[in-house]
Structure 1
Amino acid sequence: MLLVVAAFIVAFVLLLYMISPLISPKPLKLNGAHVVVTGGSSGIGKSIAMECYRQGAFITLVARDESKLVQAKKEVEKCAINDKQVVLCISVDVSKDYGQVESVIKQCQEKLGPVDMLVNCAGTSFSGKFEEVEVERFRSLMEVNYLGSVYPTRAVITTMKERRMGRIMFVSSQAGQIGLFGYTAYSPSKFALRGLAESLQMEMKPYNIYVTIAYPPDTDTPGLAEENRTKPLETRLISETSGVTQPEQVAKTVVKDAVQGNFNSSVGPDGYMLSALTCGMSPVTSITEGLQQIELSHILYDYNIIIDCPKTVCSCLTLVIVNSD
Structure 2
Amino acid sequence: MAGLALVFGGSEGIGLAVAERLVACGERVVVLSRSAAKLATTVDRLGPGVEVRTVDVTDAVATGAVVDALVAEVGVPDLVVNTAGYARPGYLEDLPAEDVTGMVATNLLGTINVCRAVLPHLRSSGRGTIVTTSSMAGLAGVFGYTVYSATKFGVIGFSEALRREVRPYGLRVLVLCPPNTLTPGFDEENRHKPAEVLAAEENVATLSPEAVADTLLRALRRRRGFLVVPGRDSRLAAVAIRHLPFVVDRALRRPV
What's the TM-score bracket when you normalise by the shorter of the two chains? Answer: over 0.9
Do residues 200 (structure 1) and 134 (structure 2) align? no
Does the 8 A contact of 1:181 with 1:234 survive in 2? no
Q: Give the whole-Å Cα distance in 2 for the aligned partners of 1:130 and 1:145.
A: 17
- 8 Å Cα contact 2:5/2:27 also seen in 1: yes
Task: State the partner residue of 1:178.
Answer: 140
Match of 2:130 among 136, 152, 168: 168
Superposed CA offset, 1:105-142 (max 9, x none)? 11222232111111010001110111111233211100
Stretches of structure 1 that go unaligned for 5 or more consecutive residues are: 1-29, 79-85, 280-296, 307-311
User: For the Cα contact (< 8 Å) 1:234–1:318, is it kept in 2?
Assistant: no
**Does the alignment pair 1:76 with 2:38?**
no
CA distance in 2, matches of 1:220, 1:200: 29
Q: Which residue of 2 aligns with 1:47?
A: 17
* Alignment-mate amino acid for residue 221 of structure 1: T
Deviations 1:41-67 (A, max 9, x none): 000000000111111111111101111
Task: Check whether the contact 2:32–2:53 (CA below 8 A) recurs between aligned residues.
Answer: yes
Give deviations 1:72-95, integer Å, cap 9, x for gaps.
1221228xxxxxxx3111111111
Answer whether contact 1:88 1:108 (CA < 8 A) is retained: no
1:230 aligns with 2:192: yes
In structure 1, what is the equivalent of residue 111 of structure 2?
A: 149
Q: Does structure 2 conserve the Cα–Cα contact (< 8 Å) formed by 1:58 and 1:112?
A: no
| Larger CA Rg, structure 1 vs 2 | 1
Partner of 1:109: 71
Matched, 1:267 2:230: yes
* Cα deviation digits, residues 202-232 of structure 1 (max 9, x gap): 1111111111111101111000000100101
Determine helix, strand or coil for the equivalent of 1:228: helix
The ranges of structure 1 where at least 4 consecutive aligned residues each deviate by more than 4 angstroms after the TM superposition are: none
Helix, strand or coil at the partner of 2:132: strand
Aligned length, in residue pairs:
255
Identity of aligned residues (%): 31
Separation in structure 2 between the aligned mates of residue 35 and residue 181 of structure 1, nearest angstrom: 35
- 1:234 Cα deviation from its structure 2 partner: 1.6
Supply the AA of the counterpart residue of 1:247.
Answer: P
Cα gap change, 1:204 to 1:278, in 2 (>3 Å): farther
**SS of the counterpart of 1:161?**
helix
Take 1:261 and 1:37, find their aligned partners in 2: how far apart are those partners?
21
The secondary structure found in structure 1 opposite 2:191 is coil
Q: TM-score, normalised by structure 1?
A: 0.74
